[in-house]
Homo-oligomer: A and B are copies of this chain.
Amino acid sequence: MSDFSSIDHIKIPEPALRRLPWYLAYAQLAKTQGEVFLSSTQIAKDLAVDASQVAKDLSYVNISGKTRVGYDTGLLINVLEDFLGFTKTHNAFIFGIGNLGGALIQDNGLAQYGLKICAGFDIKYELSGTRINQIPIHHIDRFFELRKQTKTNIGILTVPVNNAQSVAELMIEGGIKAIWNFTPFRIRVPENIIVQNTSIYAHLALMFNRLHSTINE
């Protein structure tokens, strides 16, 4: 089974990687419906992706289909979960315990996908020493010390827009290697730092725009 230490893993193009979670979700549903095998044709049809594309995407993960029957559903789920990193625990710190930060700390679903939030940081002194969903909240002053102790590589950025750049810089200075940026601010980082933007409020704007283009109010 492929894992993160395999060299193969590095070569997958991002568009293919983005589609793998769709196949995983599809296989999870198929399994509950009792489907023992899944063909790439079937996956392709239901997800409106080209069948050769599905086969090619799945060629990056270590699974082979059987002629005329396809992929074993249970095996496909295991291989995809493993490949996507969901079966491993990745520790993370979260920065900014406001509305969204507080909400993400409550989302135990993240742990099912391999992300364990170990601690939260905020500039508000009244939050330090408290816990949300069992997770300790510290003043930001303690970040360097706790990062040293724990070697946590992932930082979730949920501070207000005005502080996004400065807190990102602090995170990097402390040793964070990957920033999951939930702010709408485009942070600037050195080349070796990974940034994953998840701008949920920007998605909201896209939806509003399309809704107002189709509905007369």
Interface residues of A (CB under 8 A from B): 4-5, 9-10, 12, 14, 17-18, 20-22, 24-26, 28-29, 32, 46-48, 84-86, 88, 90, 98-100, 102-104, 106-110, 113-115, 153-154, 161-162, 164-165, 177-178, 180, 183-186, 188, 192, 194, 196, 198-215, 217
Contact = CB atoms under 8 A, between A and B. Distances in A.
Q: How many copies does the complex hold?
A: 2
Nearest to A29: B162
Contact of A154 (B4, B114, B202, B211): B211
Contacts of A48: 186, 188
Taking each of A178, A180, A208, which has the highest tally of chain B beta carbons within 10 Å of its own beta carbon? A208
A132 B113 CA distance: 25
A107 B103 contact: yes
B201 A113 contact: yes
Given A202-B18, A217-B4, A208 B90 contact: yes
